[in-house]
Amino acid sequence: MNEDDAPFIQSLFNDPLVVELVGSRGLETLDACRNYLLNNVMESYKNNGYGVCKIVLKETMKPIGTTAFVKRPWMERESEINIGYLMLDGYRGRGIVYEAAQACLDKVKDDPKFEDIVGTSRTNNGPSIAILKKLGLTFKKHYYQYNIQHSYFVLNPKYL
């Protein structure tokens, strides 16, 4: 992803369901989206070697979502890498997010840096939790963030 993806990021992060589930990220303007891409997405690749990937339709290369490996400051362990995903309305429920997230996991399965993959979701987000389970993550606990209950999943059983 690069600065040219600012219109897509603006569309994705202002999708009503995305705002409901992950909150407003202050990405209402193209300038804010360009800054996010430069200072978050591209910086993550520079510093960590991983980050946010675009999900595109094979036929048209139209961006429709993202999947990502990201560090979160509120994770339990320094080694944790959070797998996440977002999808534009109209493309949800088709198995596309699962396919993309599974491809990401397949790519890093033998890399020891990715031994400690976790996934989180609001407890009431059944579709997201179903994807985490289908990807092989196991429920560990509930926790609260911003006064909202979330579910916390781990991929490696040694972290249960």
**pLDDT given for residue 1 in this prediction:** 92
Domain that holds residue 124: 3-159
Residue 99: its pLDDT value, please? 96
pTM (predicted TM-score):
0.91
Instruction: State the pLDDT at residue 74.
Output: 77
Angle at 38 between CA 34 and CA 43, to 5 degrees: 155
Mean pLDDT by 10 residues, the chain (160 residues): 96 94 91 96 93 95 96 84 95 96 92 92 95 97 91 88
What is the CATH classification number for the domain harbouring 86? 3.40.630.30
Number of domains in the chain: 1
Going across the sheet that includes 117-122, the strands are 52-56, 63-70, 81-87, 117-122, 148-154, 138-145
